[in-house]
């Protein structure tokens, strides 16, 4: 697992997301790349996800950052949303 997801109801008609990547992961360039990949993956799937949630994505600090690409993150987010019954 690379991404950890926390979900809370917000009683509104839209989702709010937050993305947290620890400074222990690396320099700002790598952290921002991970944030961009997570944000883009969420953007692609946001129409298929239930509304009214606060969602926080956290990068697992023990996960390898070098060999991560968009497909890996996208598939993990799909699995997490499916496991949380949000699709």
Instruction: Kindly state the helix (H) or strand (E) to which residue 25 belongs, with its residue range.
Output: none
- Does residue 70 carry a pLDDT above 90? yes
Residue 66: band (very low, low, confident or very high) from pLDDT cuts 50, 70, 90: confident
67: CB partners within 8 A, 6+ apart: none
Residues 21/34, Cβ–Cβ less than 8 Å: yes
pLDDT at 38: 95
Give the pTM. Answer: 0.89
Residue 87: band (very low, low, confident or very high) from pLDDT cuts 50, 70, 90: confident
- What are the distances in angstroms from CA 15 to CA 1, 59, 67, 82? 23, 19, 30, 16
């Amino acid at each position: 697992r690379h991404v950890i997801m926390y979900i809370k109801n917000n009683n509104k008609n839209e989702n709010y997301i937050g993305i947290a990547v620890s400074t222990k992961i690396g320099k700002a360039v790598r952290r921002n790349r991970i944030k961009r990949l997570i944000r883009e993956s969420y953007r692609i799937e946001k129409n298929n996800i239930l509304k009214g949630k606060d969602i926080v994505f956290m990068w697992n600090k023990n996960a390898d950052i070098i060999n991560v690409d968009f497909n890996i993150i996208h598939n993990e987010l799909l699995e997490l949303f499916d496991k949380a019954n949000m699709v």
